[in-house]
Structure 1
């Protein structure tokens, strides 16, 4: 390497030219970078987490819907208001990328008898002159199925737009938002509009990403510049490390573009992280150069600085490189993989430019440090020597303090929570948070939960099993949200035939009903053309992780239980059917805002079981009427629910056969839970595993490399001590201040090991160098602390404050990431300068490993 350093020093122009050429070629790729914050796109279609989501979106031709909530100054169901809602719905249908629109003016109703059935929109093309307006509005106000579109007070409505999975949902939502806003500005300026749903959240996140990049990158550059200026007190010492890392960062972002990787919320952190971390290598080289140039000619000082710092800088870069790669290898999430890969490239480029770009400019401008007020080189060394003496004198109390902090940190470690949620990106006062809260309060929610089953959609047994499953999930979710499924549609169609909504008894009857809905856009979203794949869809509000886990586990267990069933006569399962009907009534009463105790409903229904001779449709209708009268006498239930909804809830009491979990008939060939709610849960469950895998990988890398570097397994293992303590403190802060572990903060531990180990490497490298020069431990410690220790402090301030810039991000998880990484760097540096040498001294003394443990303690 000596010849290489000499050649670099003799040819600075070549080094600058090569660096600029490399930077220019790589940075051109920045133009290819694009935004994508759809969490599903963070997983490949082949991944375990993404596979079913992609399959369901492709088969049923929709993804997360757009939800537009309109708040009117007058009742929604006024004819003049409905005309505008119709126009908005038609504009949405015509927009490219929208597969279907569901609104109060586009809903269909079924009217029929034994002879014919008519399926048509409740509101005709000419709303203003419709003759049956009052009848239509009464139907809407009475049925719970329409409450997803009309608020309880009647002054707000929702338009739900399904987006084709093949298009970018965020781009389509931007076009729809402009379309709707322009229309309302021209025709209904006094209407309030709330753009909700996941696609609109994605747009808000993308806007924050652009805002953060334009603000945070210049800010972190200024912060690092100020720290370097104060540290080195020279323009060269300031701009050389900073310019080195800036061109490395630009080159890394260009590689992102060339590789076709999208810019996500992870991507916002990449330039900030690289600027903060990457300037460390230049700082150590410049610091070493300033130390040598006091006693050597500039060219010799630079040669000695390059020769002495190359190995520790190389090892620091390799461990940091390994830290980022461990994030990439441990994650199924593409966004995290891309973050790890591009950051690793950035570290590698920072290393290359540190030994090409930086030495060339030092050769051209060899001048050393200046004074800053009364602070000069001698004063600096005096300060660091005093601190070193203090640490050495009170090494036992110092170790005791670390032990106490570690014990306290262990307590808070177990209070760390894992949480993934789009709403976690935003402040509670942010517009998108308030809109989502408004939609959740007024309607069902914004986040989809989907239950998928591969089964015969025309089989009544399948439909009954799905009815049991969807009503149970609805009950477990609180009863308020209404599922969108084939069961509801078939029962509604059957109502047109037999005058009450229920699943038909025979498969032939179900097949006949399918004739009336062939090609219907809404049906395509819940059953495929072959009628062998079905979907039940719920819209849920943002709920706590614990409740979400419970709900998804319940859904998974129910699908598994009914994948194979036994068919038993209804006479043997009367209590089961009674409980199901009671639960269905409870769900609808909750949605209507008048919940009754489930036990009271169940008790009220018991007398209805006395009527068992119900064979014909007329007898079944009479049975339902008698049961409804019983409920009316007890609860005046018709004041809260329509006759249609009551009959539908009681319809299981008419079943002649009941599917129960068993092994006689395979009902579902495949099944699963999907949707954004499930995706969040899968990500949360993978976070802890990813954390352990990435930590294990980087710790193994560090131990091996440090053992090889320092020729000692003891030093290799002890080098982990400051990092383990740092990670412990990091998690303790998260637990104490309830900072959740999410898909961003989960990367902190691996980065902390990879980047934080730098301080340990530089300290141990210099310390062993001093030992080899014949100094005892105390002398080696003092000399290391006042020289390399100074570089470590400067570097940790630069890196820590660089990370702290992320606290000004618009994205809440990035603020937490910035705070924790800033604390991590400072704790890691202070641990390397105190905990590491103190532990090393005491351990070597205890084990009597070598001669330099025998120190004359003069204090």
Structure 2
């Protein structure tokens, strides 16, 4: 009912009058701004360098930028060739390697083989002295037996078995340096069915746009592969399951460069069909809600215009998008359309009370505008909380989302009323015909009794019990970790409460080829993923790092292997002792006639005699082709000249907990004081930090976890503060956040029972849900404060609340069809949260409002009054229907 004694604020009334009296001017300004911002939107580009999204002052970033400057990039682009014919694989690898090396614009280096002759000849210096002595004993016993039996005058009176040369145990023990076999020059697997080509592009793996473009070019080259002498007619096929043969070689891409591209573009590619599906669902829901085309077109066009203006603002303030903010448009359209929905529903209500179009539009702006403004401010502030993040992807996302939400909210309360007012000027009856009208809900039923929320006490009691039980399900009742890699039993779920899944594999698309190939390489080559690196200025420091990591391996259980320039230098004490054995051995073989040995032994005799010539050498004796991989490039900045020590993890870095452990153990590698040959201290005792993708991702993971927790706390404080500022009543402020708090508590309980987990992606949904969830209570309570009973308030704005929630939920529900599991989890959590807040609004909040209404009637002693007491409000909204 109308309450003319409640005068609206002057600003609200002036704003509403402007929309009604100057609609043409308002629309002209909006369209002019839209045109300018549309031009700015076309100029927007996406910065695909992920390193730029992290604070450049972080030690992890500083160190990785040093490594990039030293060697040109972190990790490699791996090209794996698979087939069951070893000769074909090697010939194809040689041919491709030669081709790739000619592409100096894109390729810094290609490695598919490394000559092992130097290591073979000097391997005797690396072997433990007792093993070398044992090897000598076995070989000499076999050799004497062979020479004796090959002697033409050899006569055996009593038959004896020839001495067997069994060296497999020693050969296997010393057949590799690190994990690189010294039996073969090629990077070939132990089963001889895969050759690995390591490509170092001219840029770092963080520049995923360039990497994607290069991989696409490389695919075209491989598709047109012409064959090679000795392997004519060989066809290359990109396949991650096929085992090739003499005529077909299967290939695939992986490594840090490829997985970075896949991780980033998997989200973008998943969002393309999802966006269309979400827009279609939103369009359908609004049409079903309005049951007319025109109001849907009005709010959708207004939302699109507001989104474009936000993008123009982005171009002016930030200048570009990143891989996180690139999804901004779709998110804002899903959130922003709610303001238009609430305005149209309120206008229909005002028209249904018999008001002329101009008065109806004005009152709709005034009455629906206040809760819409508060909702926009609160939601924007919830996004702004993310600006405190060290991760620029989140901070920029929070800034732009907050500004965009406010822009769209204000614009829809300008575009929609101005457009309707302009239509009304042409024909006063057209607004009513085009958007429809809704009769004010009856205050009393057919028997003359007040329409009430039925049994509010019982509803509150049931709601309290349900929420309490669901909250109990969220609590961790046991310290035992409940597995997240398999479905937990109901008992385990209740014991474990709401859990956080640290496994990043659960976020990526199922069967992602690069990850699948990475796992295959790990099994075939017995190696882990790309290494991280530790910088040292001098060789002495590099030696100290190598000794610390290799001699104290128990301190670093997450490290699999350490590869340094000192990996190719034999330990001095061992080399000296072995040299003595080799010299004695050589003297014993002076009189041995090689031609007297069996033919198969004669072929190996040459290499064996070279091995006996091995003499100790220091780091300066390491060949250039070995040492180059640890030394800075010629173009490296002088302050970054030095050496790198590479560390390979022994744990699965897809497991977030293990990745954090690995990062912790390699973030403080303690080295003692380092002195030069004169005794001068050249490096003090210090802790050194490894650099690479793992430390960066570990820091980012901690940022996400911290941001998620802080965002929830700060957003909660912000919401309570703004609600109290709006209502000037603790009771009403707390009542208005009931849908939010109770709904989220129910959401976490349902997630626990359904075996759904929080993760590094969906945790960011929590502050977003907090920001959006405020609208339910705001619109219902503001309608209640206009003097209507709770049931009338519910029937007046309930349809708008439900429609706005369903449009937003449909946008998130579309994520459930995405191939990216992280997006699916975001969609699932958002949908559960939105639906639970909506249900709570129509049950618990409605019951609370009925209790407040009944208490007001008892205190006033006037059952006929429909106006809430002044104690429950400060500012009265404008004319109400």
TM-score class, shorter-chain normalisation, is 0.7 to 0.9
The higher-RCO structure (CA 8 Å, 6+ apart) is 2
Residue 21 (structure 1) aligned to one of 29, 32, 45: 32
Q: Provide closer, same or farther for how the CA distance between residues 93 and 470 of structure 1 changes in structure 2, counting only shifts above 3 A.
A: farther
- For 1:435, the equivalent position in structure 2 comes to 517
Cα offset for 1:351?
A: 1.8
Q: Deviations over 1:748-773 (max 9, x none)?
A: 11111111101111111111221xxx
Cα offset for 1:810?
A: 3.2
Cα offset for 1:304?
A: 0.8
Question: 1:782 & 1:463 partners in 2: Cα distance?
Answer: 73
- For 1:791, the equivalent position in structure 2 comes to 800
Cα offset for 1:108?
A: 7.7
- For 2:722, the equivalent position in structure 1 comes to 705
Question: 1:458 & 1:50 partners in 2: Cα distance?
Answer: 25
Cα offset for 1:33?
A: 3.4
- For 1:592, the equivalent position in structure 2 comes to none
Q: Does 2:65 match 1:54? A: yes
Residue 146 (structure 1) aligned to one of 180, 196, 210: 180
- For 2:741, the equivalent position in structure 1 comes to 724
Counterpart contact for 1:793–1:829, Cα < 8 Å = yes
Residue 341 (structure 2) aligned to one of 250, 262, 283: 283
Aligned length: 711
Question: 2:48 & 2:579 partners in 1: Cα distance?
Answer: 46
Question: 2:401 & 2:172 partners in 1: Cα distance?
Answer: 59
Counterpart contact for 1:43–1:49, Cα < 8 Å = no
Q: Provide closer, same or farther for how the CA distance between residues 389 and 347 of structure 1 changes in structure 2, counting only shifts above 3 A.
A: same
Question: 1:389 & 1:90 partners in 2: Cα distance?
Answer: 84
- For 1:820, the equivalent position in structure 2 comes to 829
Gap runs ≥5 in structure 2: 1-10, 126-170, 228-233, 236-247, 425-429, 477-496, 581-615, 676-680, 866-881
Counterpart contact for 1:802–1:822, Cα < 8 Å = no
Counterpart contact for 1:552–1:678, Cα < 8 Å = yes
Counterpart contact for 1:100–1:162, Cα < 8 Å = yes
Residue 400 (structure 1) aligned to one of 453, 459, 462: 462
Counterpart contact for 1:723–1:753, Cα < 8 Å = yes
Q: Deviations over 1:672-728 (max 9, x none)?
A: 233222333222222232122212222222222211211113322333332122222
Question: 1:385 & 1:727 partners in 2: Cα distance?
Answer: 38
Counterpart contact for 2:80–2:196, Cα < 8 Å = yes
Cα offset for 1:195?
A: 0.6
Q: Does 2:157 match 1:157? A: no
Q: Provide closer, same or farther for how the CA distance between residues 47 and 462 of structure 1 changes in structure 2, counting only shifts above 3 A.
A: closer
Q: Does 2:668 match 1:563? A: no
Residue 308 (structure 1) aligned to one of 354, 367, 370: 367
Q: Provide closer, same or farther for how the CA distance between residues 342 and 447 of structure 1 changes in structure 2, counting only shifts above 3 A.
A: farther
Question: 2:674 & 2:19 partners in 1: Cα distance?
Answer: 80
Q: Could you state the TM-score of these two structures normalised by the residue count of structure 1?
A: 0.73
What aligned pairs does 1:146-545 form with structure 2 within 5 A after superposition? 146-147=180-181, 149-165=187-203, 168-172=207-211, 174-176=213-215, 178-179=217-218, 182-183=221-222, 185-187=225-227, 188-189=234-235, 190-259=248-317, 263-264=321-322, 266-267=324-325, 269-294=327-352, 295-329=354-388, 331-366=389-424, 367=430, 377=438, 391-412=453-474, 414=476, 415-419=497-501, 423-443=505-525, 447-454=529-536, 456-458=538-540, 462-463=544-545, 465-468=547-550, 471-472=553-554, 476=558, 481-491=560-570, 510=618, 512-513=620-621, 520-524=628-632, 534-538=644-648, 541-545=652-656
Q: Deviations over 1:64-94 (max 9, x none)?
A: 321111102302xx3x542321232233334
Q: Deviations over 1:136-191 (max 9, x none)?
A: xx999932532593222111111122344568344235424533662464323110
Question: 1:677 & 1:468 partners in 2: Cα distance?
Answer: 20
Gap runs ≥5 in structure 1: 117-137, 502-507, 568-663, 771-778
Question: 2:47 & 2:260 partners in 1: Cα distance?
Answer: 8
Question: 2:56 & 2:202 partners in 1: Cα distance?
Answer: 16
Counterpart contact for 1:451–1:555, Cα < 8 Å = no
Cα offset for 1:668?
A: 5.0
Question: 1:290 & 1:369 partners in 2: Cα distance?
Answer: 8
Question: 1:524 & 1:675 partners in 2: Cα distance?
Answer: 16
Q: Deviations over 1:483-532 (max 9, x none)?
A: 3323313349999999789xxxxxx9746347857982454389998775
Q: Provide closer, same or farther for how the CA distance between residues 665 and 458 of structure 1 changes in structure 2, counting only shifts above 3 A.
A: closer
Question: 1:703 & 1:162 partners in 2: Cα distance?
Answer: 53
Q: Deviations over 1:426-472 (max 9, x none)?
A: 32234344333333333356744525254642268615533426844
Q: Provide closer, same or farther for how the CA distance between residues 565 and 727 of structure 1 changes in structure 2, counting only shifts above 3 A.
A: farther
- For 1:580, the equivalent position in structure 2 comes to none
Cα offset for 1:219?
A: 2.5
Q: Provide closer, same or farther for how the CA distance between residues 854 and 799 of structure 1 changes in structure 2, counting only shifts above 3 A.
A: farther
Residue 758 (structure 1) aligned to one of 755, 759, 775: 775
Range 533-542 or range 713-722, more displaced: 533-542
Q: Which has the higher helix share?
A: 1
Question: 1:410 & 1:843 partners in 2: Cα distance?
Answer: 28
Q: Alignment partner of 1:191: what SS?
A: strand
Counterpart contact for 1:316–1:757, Cα < 8 Å = yes
Q: Provide closer, same or farther for how the CA distance between residues 670 and 389 of structure 1 changes in structure 2, counting only shifts above 3 A.
A: farther
Q: Deviations over 1:23-58 (max 9, x none)?
A: 221122333333455543431322355333333333
Counterpart contact for 1:796–1:829, Cα < 8 Å = yes
Range 164-173 or range 318-327, more displaced: 164-173
Counterpart contact for 1:418–1:741, Cα < 8 Å = yes
Question: 1:524 & 1:108 partners in 2: Cα distance?
Answer: 25
Q: Could you state the TM-score of these two structures normalised by the residue count of structure 2?
A: 0.71
Q: Provide closer, same or farther for how the CA distance between residues 251 and 566 of structure 1 changes in structure 2, counting only shifts above 3 A.
A: closer
- For 1:714, the equivalent position in structure 2 comes to 731
Counterpart contact for 2:83–2:250, Cα < 8 Å = yes
Residue 800 (structure 1) aligned to one of 800, 809, 817: 809
Q: Provide closer, same or farther for how the CA distance between residues 48 and 409 of structure 1 changes in structure 2, counting only shifts above 3 A.
A: farther
Question: 1:676 & 1:39 partners in 2: Cα distance?
Answer: 11
Cα offset for 1:355?
A: 2.3
Counterpart contact for 1:170–1:200, Cα < 8 Å = no
Q: Deviations over 1:599-636 (max 9, x none)?
A: xxxxxxxxxxxxxxxxxxxxxxxxxxxxxxxxxxxxxx
What aligned pairs does 1:601-680 form with structure 2 within 5 A after superposition? 668-680=685-697
- For 2:150, the equivalent position in structure 1 comes to none
Q: Alignment partner of 2:73: what SS?
A: coil
- For 1:593, the equivalent position in structure 2 comes to none
The CA RMSD over aligned residues, in Å, is 4.3
- For 1:588, the equivalent position in structure 2 comes to none
- For 1:645, the equivalent position in structure 2 comes to none
Counterpart contact for 1:104–1:146, Cα < 8 Å = no
Cα offset for 1:845?
A: 8.0
Counterpart contact for 1:451–1:673, Cα < 8 Å = yes
Range 35-44 or range 813-822, more displaced: 35-44
Please tell me whether Structure 1 or Structure 2 has the larger radius of gyration of its CA atoms. Answer: 2
